[in-house]
Each structure stands twice: as structure tokens, then as C-alpha cells.
Amino acid sequence: MAWEQSEVRALKENRYVIIDDEPCRINSISTSKPGKHGEAKARVEGVGIFDGQKHSFVHPVSHKVKVPMIDKRAAQVLAIMGEEVQLMDMITYETFSLPILDDFKDDLKEGAEIQYLVAMDRKKITRV
């Protein structure tokens, strides 16, 4: 299971939530007052971790939403192959390849240690 459930009222800014099947970092949360026959509603806006797109939803504050399980790990650079980099996890010694983001092209060197995150069976380099 790559996610858990949480109520909208428990969400906080700079944490994560799944919007439109995409794990997103929450940028802002705004709530409205309850009406005469209604319940307070919250508007949550976030940016996708992997796609960089803005996503948002509006739900009652008692509505259940999915929160992704984010795992931050360290890896060592084994080889740089064009637009991809081959990495080895520092704990499990698993090897895998990830695309190189434009932000890290100049900083990656063989033998260097990097940080990456895993969310919903997808991986992304976060720091060199």
C-alpha cells in the first residue's frame, strides 16, 4: 500500500496529498465557514511531485483523502549514461536508473552520493 487515509481537516501546508492520482506537495489550504444546512469546506492546492503541475480540490473538511507514503533515501551514482543516471541504494544495494533533471546535470559525478524520494512506486532525485 503506497498511501493512507486522512481527513481534509488534518492536512497541513508543505505536506503531501494525492490529487488526481498524483502525489502533490500542498501549497495552500483555505476553509470556508459552514452554512445554514452545510458543512465547512476546504480548498486544497498543490503541485505534483513528478509532473510539476498545479492540482486542486474542494471537499468538506470531514471528507477522507489519500496521503502518499513518501520515503526519502540515499543512493550512490554508479554511472552517467547520457540523459540517465545509474544509482545504487545505500541500504538495500538495489541498482536502478533514473532520468537526470536539468537542475542536477552539472552536479552529478560518478561516486557521488545523492538523495531521492520514492512515492507510489515512482522515484525522483531530490538533492545532490
pTM of the model: 0.84
Check whether 105 has a pLDDT greater than 90: no
The answer to whether residues 64 and 76 belong to one domain is: no
| Same domain, residue pair 112 and 93 | yes
Q: What is the pLDDT of residue 21?
A: 92
pLDDT of 94 over the 60 cut = yes
The domain boundary, picked from 68, 88, 117, lies at: 68
**Averaged pLDDT, 46-51:** 94
Q: Which of 22, 46, 68 corresponds to the end of one domain?
A: 68
Element (H, E) at 91: none
Domain range for 117 is: 71-127
Domain boundary among 19, 49, 68: 68
56 and 89 part of one domain: no
The pLDDT, as a whole number, for residue 108 is 87
Could you tell me which residues are beta bridge partners of residue 57?
Answer: 44
Structural domain total, the chain: 2
Hey, what's the torsion of the CAs at 14, 58, 4, 6, to 10 degrees? 80
Per-residue pLDDT at 100 exceeds 70? yes
Span 79-100, average pLDDT: 93
Contact, 8 vs 61, CB < 8 A?
yes
36 versus 97: the higher-pLDDT residue is 97
Rg of the chain (C-alpha set)? 18
| Whether residue 9 is found in the same domain as residue 62 | yes
